[in-house]
Amino acid sequence: MVSNSMVAGGRSGSEPSAPGQDPGAGGADGLRLTGVNKTYQARQGEVHALSDVNLHIKRGEFISLVGRSGCGKTTLLRILAGLQAPSSGTVEADGRSVWAGSRRNDEALAKFGVVFQDANLFPWYTVRENIALPLKLRGESKAARRARADDLCQLVGLGGFEGAYPQELSGGMRQRAAIARALSYQPSVLLMDEPFGALDALTRDKMNLELQSIHAAAGATVVFVTHSIPEAVFLADRVVLLTPRPGRIRSVTPVDFERPRSLETESSSEFQNIVRQLRYELDEESEQS
């Protein structure tokens, strides 16, 4: 069995955490989930989606969430995003509670951006207008909105397409526009739910490279849900593996490859060791469930 502590250049990261535990440092900065549980009623009865999730995500860190379908990855992301209340436990952003019971704290979420698998662009708006929409809703001037949208088009590789409509773009380009829209008001946290899941493999590779550059330029904390273990390892500072339902943290694996990373990183033995270990843990959990 390969150790999770294998990292680039022969350096060793910290050992993966024990189930339900978080190796992150203390302090109020960043995101912190403590004892988070989620239970909901479905037609077949009560569903226990998450169990005692404890995790500290440091400011500016890139975290990937992986696990089998139905393990609670999206539920956890929606709780972080203020879209779904936890049944118990606490969620904090820079020391401020995101939830007070079932009521969300909009002030704590003011600097959060969310990107889903579907770009959800308005077809009657241009790329520039879609990107600038959150700024329009916040009362920014037309000139300021246009300048910010044009800057973001350059950042995400859509320069020259500012006046195009969504139907004129490829799937990858629409996702770039969705990411730019989420970045329009300079969020400190970017939550992404399988944003590249519907893309072909080559476009997905390009988008992973693009997202790495965007993360470096924006400096936002990123929580990224994916079914792809290689994608998770390529992008993340740490990979959080959830068990099958109810979702618990099985392990938190550090990924210490230097940035920026190239696609050649994926062919290194260190990269493959980490992927192999995560797959082993995922298979082990599936056999036990």
pLDDT, tens only, 29-41: 899 999 999 998 8
Residue 143 counted as domain residue: no
Residue 287 counted as domain residue: yes
* Residue 284 pLDDT: 80
pLDDT, tens only, 138-186: 999 999 999 999 999 999 999 999 999 999 999 999 999 999 999 998 9
* Residue 54 pLDDT: 97
What confidence tier does 11 reach under pLDDT thresholds 50, 70, 90? very low
Averaged pLDDT of the chain: 88
Residue 217 counted as domain residue: yes
State both tokens at 263. Answer: 């696609």
* Residue 29 pLDDT: 87
* Residue 137 neighbours by CB under 8 Å, 6+ apart: none
Answer whether residue 137 shows pLDDT above 50: yes
Over residues 10-23, the mean pLDDT reads: 44
β strands within the chain, DSSP E: 31-42, 45-57, 62-66, 88-93, 96-97, 99-100, 103-104, 112-115, 189-193, 221-225, 238-242, 249-254
Over residues 106-134, the mean pLDDT reads: 94
Domain of residue 220, residue span = 17-111+187-196+209-260+281-289
What confidence tier does 17 reach under pLDDT thresholds 50, 70, 90? low
Residue 43 counted as domain residue: yes
**For the chain, what percent of residues have pLDDT higher than 70?**
89
Answer whether residue 202 shows pLDDT above 80: yes
Residue 141 counted as domain residue: no
pLDDT, tens only, 54-86: 999 999 999 999 999 889 999 999 999 999 999
Q: What CATH number is attached to the domain comprising 32?
A: 3.40.50.300
The rounded distance, in Å, linking the Cα atoms of 36 and 228 is 25
Residue 171 counted as domain residue: no
Residue 173 counted as domain residue: no
Query: Quick check: pTM over 0.75?
Result: yes
The rounded distance, in Å, linking the Cα atoms of 181 and 205 is 21
pLDDT, tens only, 221-277: 999 999 999 999 999 999 999 999 899 999 999 999 999 999 999 999 999 999 999
What confidence tier does 283 reach under pLDDT thresholds 50, 70, 90? confident
Residue 181 counted as domain residue: no
State the total domains in the chain.
1
What confidence tier does 7 reach under pLDDT thresholds 50, 70, 90? very low
